[in-house]
Structures are given as structure tokens and as C-alpha cells.
């Protein structure tokens, strides 16, 4: 499949109708392969060693733990997971930070937004400790006006309570804002709140095929957001 979904010109954002750009971090700008590998492979491997159990059993235990707090702030809280699993999850992130990086075309897209003069805010479900590791590795903060983690808002983005709180915090006009995310639940919550311009990142991981969503402008690369140009 080509890097970007095949879209006609009318699908391209009309940037004159957009004042604020709200962008997810992991799976939208940064390659989610790191997170998938960390929580589905590396953490279970080390948990298995710690408890002297088979890898499959360790992964099943951790997946059950993940699901038990899915949708809650604890789900992405690295300090919480450090305490719960008995391993220094933050230190492990730093140890493996060579795997953290931008998705192809993401930096070009951020430069394009700067050229357009659009204020850009990262709205992420991640905890500040994880954000700090990723910012230190990628320099993502150089491209944006602000990074807001879910703990600052008080909810994760798939929760309906997130969006009015986020709007009060940032002061954006939903009818003139663009929000891009790889998570369907987050996009649905934003749609319900009235965010007018919604974009789905279908290629969240460099190691997985695109997963398009028919109900949204769903793209597997950034070219459609660059008015059809291919990223440099």
C-alpha cells in the first residue's frame, strides 16, 4: 500500500478554516513500534525473568493488568507501572530510547504547520515522565507551542470529560480546530465534543500495516496534509 491513502483534493484540509492544530504524540508523530515492543515484548520478558515464569505467562499477566486500568490515568502512568510490576519502567524507557523516533514525514509536516503559522499543541495520553524521555530523544518540543499530557487535563482523550477540560485549558474553538490521532476512541470523543476537523493516523507503527477507518479522513502518511505534496 502507498504511504498515503488515495484521497481527492477536496479531502485535503482547508487550512484557512483551521486556527488550532491538536496532535497526538505516539502513533501519530512518533513511531508506536517503540511502545508496542516495550509493553508487549520487553516488559513481559523482564517480568518473566523477575518472577521465574515463562514469557507467555508473564505477558498474559501484564495484559490483564493493562486491561484492568484501561481508560484510566494509571493506564499510561509509568510511575504507577514501576510500582505495580516491580521494575523501573522509566529507567527501561531511557535504556531503550534508541528505538524512539518520528514516523516518516512527521517532521516535515510539523515544519509545514510552522510555515502556515498554525499554533500546534501536542495532546497526549502519556504521563509526563514518558513525555520527557521522548522529547529528550526526538526534540519534538522544538516544533510545537505546547505539550499537554492527560494528567494535566485530568482524563484520557477517549473519555468525554477530557475535551471540555482540554478546551478550557487551551482555549481553542472546536469548530476551527484540527485533531489528529491514531486511536478511534479518542477521535470519537473529540467528534462528540464538536471538533470539526478530524484526521486518523492509520500508519501508527513502522512495523505494522496501515489500519484505515472509513468514518474519518484516514491517512497512512502525511502527504494529504501537505496539500498533496510528498514529504521531503
- For residues 145 and 112, give the distance between their C-alpha atoms in angstroms, rounded to a whole number: 14
Which residue stretches of the chain are H helix? Answer: 33-37, 43-51, 55-68, 78-85, 89-95, 106-116, 128-138, 150-153, 162-170, 184-193
CA distances from 13 to 93, 177, 229 (A): 35, 11, 13
Q: Which residue has the cell 513511531?
A: 31
Which domains are seen in the chain, by residue range? 9-31+101-226 (3.40.50.1000), 34-98 (no CATH)
pLDDT digits (tens, 9 = 90+) for 169-184: 999 999 999 999 999 9
Helix (H, G, I), strand (E, B) or coil at 115: helix
Burial 112-122 (b: 16+ CB within 10 A, else e): bbeeeeeebbb
Considering the entire predicted model, what is its pTM?
A: 0.92
pLDDT digits (tens, 9 = 90+) for 64-81: 999 999 999 999 999 999
Question: Residue 10: pLDDT band by 50, 70, 90 thresholds?
Answer: very low
- For residues 114 and 77, give the distance between their C-alpha atoms in angstroms, rounded to a whole number: 31
Predicted confidence at residue 226, as pLDDT, reads 86
Predicted confidence at residue 69, as pLDDT, reads 96
Amino acid at each position: 500500500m502507498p504511504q498515503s491513502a488515495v484521497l481527492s483534493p477536496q479531502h485535503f484540509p482547508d487550512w484557512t478554516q483551521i486556527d488550532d492544530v491538536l496532535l497526538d504524540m505516539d502513533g501519530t508523530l512518533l513511531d508506536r513500534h517503540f511502545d508496542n515492543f516495550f509493553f508487549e515484548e520487553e516488559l513481559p520478558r523482564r517480568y518473566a525473568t523477575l518472577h521465574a515464569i515463562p514469557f507467555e505467562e508473564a505477558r498474559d499477566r501484564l495484559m490483564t493488568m493493562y486491561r484492568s486500568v484501561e481508560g484510566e490515568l494509571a493506564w499510561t502512568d509509568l510511575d504507577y507501572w514501576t510500582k505495580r510490576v516491580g521494575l523501573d519502567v522509566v529507567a527501561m524507557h531511557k535504556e531503550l530510547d534508541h528505538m524512539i523516533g518520528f514516523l516518516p514525514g512527521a517532521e516535515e509536516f510539523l515544519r509545514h504547520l510552522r510555515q502556515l503559522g498554525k499554533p500546534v499543541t501536542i495532546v497526549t495520553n502519556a504521563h509526563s515522565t514518558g513525555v520527557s524521555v521522548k522529547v529528550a530523544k526526538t526534540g519534538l518540543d522544538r516544533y510545537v507551542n505546547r505539550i499537554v499530557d492527560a494528567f494535566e487535563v485530568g482524563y484520557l482523550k477517549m473519555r468525554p470529560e477530557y475535551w471540555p477540560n482540554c478546551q478550557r485549558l487551551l482555549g481553542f474553538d472546536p469548530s476551527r480546530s484540527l485533531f489528529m490521532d491514531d486511536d478511534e476512541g479518542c477521535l470519537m470523543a473529540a467528534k462528540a465534543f464538536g471538533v470539526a476537523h478530524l484526521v486518523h493516523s492509520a500508519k501508527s507503527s513502522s512495523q505494522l500495516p496501515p489500519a484505515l477507518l472509513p468514518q474519518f479522513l484516514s491517512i497512512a502518511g502525511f502527504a494529504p496534509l501537505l496539500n498533496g505534496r510528498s514529504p521531503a
